[in-house]
Every structure is written in structure tokens, then in C-alpha cells.
Amino acid sequence: MIDPAIGLVRRQALELDLENREVDRVLDLVGDAKLVLLGEASHGTHEFYRVRADITRALIAHRGFNLVAVEADWPDAYRANRWARLAGAETTAEEALADFTRFPRWMWRNRIVVQFLTWLREWNGSRSVQARTAFYGLDLYSLHRSIECVLHYLQKVDPEAARRARQRYSCFDVFGEDVQSYGYATSLGLSRSCENDVVTQLVELRRREADYATRDGWIAADEYFAAEQNARVVRNAEVYYRAMFRGGAESWNVRDRHMMTTLEALLAHVSGTNGEARAVVWAHNSHLGDARATSMATRGELNLGQLTRQRGPDRCRVIGFTTHVGTVTAAPNWDDPAELMTVRPSLPGSYERLFHDAGLPAFVLPLGDPELGSVLGGPRLERAIGVIYRPETERASHYFTARLPQQFDAVIHIDATRAVEPLEKWSRHELDLPETYPTGV
């Protein structure tokens, strides 16, 4: 029996011309939203990166968006941000992305991100310092890198405060770079927690904001803001690594709450310097599609998309991505070299198979229509490929149940896709530290 949803999708889908990179139909769906969340169904698909970048360029150029926040570690993305805003010493985008050394490097060290950052620097070139569009990271895995950044900042502005910070952060020294060992030991009561130390350091830094952030105009304010965010990363990463070994949903929720806190801080910071903030967020569907409409909720998990909608549903649009078949850049296990892997055809009964059966190569589907919401309400299967792909156990490893019309405001389906192109191929690097071992998304 033919699924009655197929005909409805065919009638309501808005075809996309990927060849000519037309995204006007997507912009029409954004409307007057000031926050646009753009997902991806994998961390290694060329079309997801490219279309997302095309939409973002259009939002910046034609809708006044001035902030791009991505699923990346704060200090690594901050170097790219400085270059894109004409403040870094690097000569190319590839150099500006050089701090992305840990697995999975291809997520940000790829050709599409290079092209986008290069365009963003050119766009910013004709604008005042305060009016330049920013590119920031939202994630929290960079505990040790963020410690280094806080100490470096304080050594410049307040050497005595740097001495106190170094003493507090030395709580982690016994574990070296292995923060997983720290989380394991403290969760079992084998070692004292560093929680009080990192909280005290963040509180002290915030108390000195009025002094530090006003010493040299806008530059001082931005440098202080970056240091405060690094101190917040350390504080929340410490909580995250302790939560990892307690099981359940806690560590996932710590991470997405941190992303939300960081996004709110970014919106306030950009509004304070530019008068208004309009932000685009890049992250996996699993972080941006409302968790309440997926099986994540039954596990007690929330996510950034849910928190954003709860903050102001009328101000945001959440757009997901799906694909049926193709190739993907991923790894079979954590810290394995990146591979060009074949994506199996989507499973019967999934949203991806339904969209494939509609027979359109690429389209955006608005999900606000009541009839569509009823017919597609599900739940149905939905696929999520992170940085790890295990096709031999795909049903168990990469599918979950969702109600798509409640999960997203619109979905972009590209039926056949190919792998994103990394800047380099590599084997395990000496800087691939274990602190980055989280989930696959």
C-alpha cells in the first residue's frame, strides 16, 4: 500500500536548485526570526555543510545576521573568529583553523568551512570593528586549552590574579591531560573534586569585569569576554566529566545547557557592541531538533533546540537536514582515521525513506501546515550519523524515533549526498587528547 504521506510531501515540498545554490525559499521560511538553527544529519556530509553555509551567507548579507555560533570548542573557534574579523595574524582560513587538532578535525577543517570563513573575512573587510559578523564555538570539551587561555589572559592584565588562577587550576595536574581519569576518580570518590576551585576562579574573574573590560575600549571588552567564556568552559567541563561516569542523561544535559548559556552570552555580547544580535547556529540535528519530539525525551535528555524554543519560540526557526543515500566522512571508532564511508539506503518506515519515495532530488518542506503535521506526526524512524558511523549495526546505532513536525519548523532533504572533503587525511595525532571523548554527535 502506498503511503498517503508521499503525495502530500510532493504537493507541499519546495524544490531546491542546488546546482545554482538558490536558497530564497529557505529565507522566506525564516521570516522575521532573529535566531535560526541549522542542523545536519551527519557530521561529514558535503551538501549539509554547503547548503548551511549558503543559507548563512544570505542571512548575513540580506537579513542583517551578525553572529554564527557553531558546535565547536570555544578556544579553537575563537582563533577562526579573530581571523574572520580581521584581528588575527594568519594569512589564510586554513591557518586560522589550525587549533582544530583533535578528533574529529574534519568537522571544521574542511573545504566548505574554509570557503565560508574566507567569504566572511571579505564581508567584514568593509565594516567597522563593532559591526563585523562573529564566528564563535559553543562546546565545552576544551578544558585544558581553556585553562591555558584564561592563564594567558590574566598574565597580561593581572599577574597576581594569574598566580591565583594557576594555583586553583593545578587541582587537575595529577591527572595530566586525561580528564576522563579525573571524571572517573572523582565520581568514585577516589579523588577530590575541583568544582570549588573552578567556580571560585569564574566568580573572581566576573567580579573584575568592570576593571578588565574597560581598559582599552572595545578590544579590552572582547578579550575579557573571551576569557570569561573560557573560564565558564572550564567550570562546566569539570561538571561534564564527572557526570560522564554516573550514567543516564546528565552529561548530555550538562553539555546542551552549556551551549544554551554560551549562546545567551553571545547574544548579549553582540547586542551590547552592535545594538542588535541576529544569530545562526550550526549543530547536529540531535542538538537542534526539539528533544521533546524525539525518543531523547524518554531518556530524560533535553537539547539546545528545546531550550531555545522555550526561551522564545516566536523568535527562532529550527531547520533540520536529511538524506537517503550517498557517502560520508566518518570513522568506525573514536580516534580512528577519517574514512570515506558508504551511507546505506534509509530504512523503510523512516522519514528519510518517505522523502526518497517522494521522488524529488532536493527540497525544503515547511512543517507548520496542520494537515502535514497530522500525516507526518509519527512517530517514525529518523537517522543520525555523528562522527562515528557503523553501518553494520545501523538500526541500533543510528536510528531513533521522532515526530518531525514538532521537532523542526522545516526540513531540507537532499536525496543523494557525498562526503565532506577534509583538508587533510591523518592517522591518530599526538594532540588527539582524550578530553574530547564525548558522544558521537
Per-residue pLDDT tens over the stretch 56-84: 999 999 999 999 999 999 999 999 999 99
Q: Give start and end residues of each alpha helix (H) in 158-274.
A: 159-169, 179-187, 195-207, 209-212, 217-243, 250-274
Write down the domain spans for the chain.
Answer: 4-138+278-436, 140-258
C-beta of residue 202 within 8 angstroms of C-beta of residue 236: no
Q: Is the predicted pLDDT of residue 6 greater than 60, yes or no?
A: yes
Per-residue pLDDT tens over the stretch 374-415: 999 989 999 999 999 999 999 999 999 999 999 999 999 999
Per-residue pLDDT tens over the stretch 356-380: 999 999 999 999 999 999 999 989 9
What distance lies between CA 192 and its chain's CA centroid?
31
Under CATH, what is the fold of the domain 4-138+278-436?
A: EreA/ChaN-like  fold (3.40.1660)
Q: How high is the pLDDT of residue 254?
A: 97
Burial class (CB in 10 A: 0-12, 13-18, 19+), 187: middle
Choose the weakest-confidence range: 100-114, 262-276, 341-355, 426-440: 426-440
Per-residue pLDDT tens over the stretch 139-193: 999 999 999 999 999 999 999 999 999 999 999 988 887 788 888 888 777 788 9
What's the pTM? 0.94
Q: Is the predicted pLDDT of residue 426 greater than 80, yes or no?
A: no
Instruction: Kindly state the DSSP code that residue 37 receives in the 8-state scheme.
Output: E
Cell of 424: 587533510
Q: How high is the pLDDT of residue 78?
A: 97
The identity of residue 183, as a single letter, is: G
With the C-alpha atoms ordered 47, 48, 52, 55, is the resulting torsion angle positive or negative? positive
Per-residue pLDDT tens over the stretch 81-128: 999 999 989 999 999 999 999 889 999 999 999 999 999 999 999 999
Q: How high is the pLDDT of residue 4?
A: 85
Helix, strand or coil for residue 300?
coil
Report d(CA 165, CA 156) in Å as an integer: 13
C-beta of residue 202 within 8 angstroms of C-beta of residue 165: no
Q: How high is the pLDDT of residue 134?
A: 97
Q: How high is the pLDDT of residue 432?
A: 42
Cell of 409: 519548523
Q: How high is the pLDDT of residue 438?
A: 54
Q: Is the predicted pLDDT of residue 433 greater than 50, yes or no?
A: no
Q: Is the predicted pLDDT of residue 30 greater than 60, yes or no?
A: yes
Instruction: Kindly state the DSSP code that residue 289 receives in the 8-state scheme.
Output: S
Helix, strand or coil for residue 361?
coil
pLDDT band at 1 (very low <50, low <70, confident <90, very high): low
Q: How high is the pLDDT of residue 184?
A: 80
Beta carbons within 8 Å of 43's beta carbon, 6+ residues apart: 104, 106, 107, 284, 329, 330, 385, 386, 387, 441
Cis before 332? omega within 30: no
What distance lies between CA 289 and its chain's CA centroid?
12
Q: Taking residues 199-220, report their average pLDDT.
A: 88
Q: How high is the pLDDT of residue 138?
A: 98
Q: How high is the pLDDT of residue 439?
A: 58
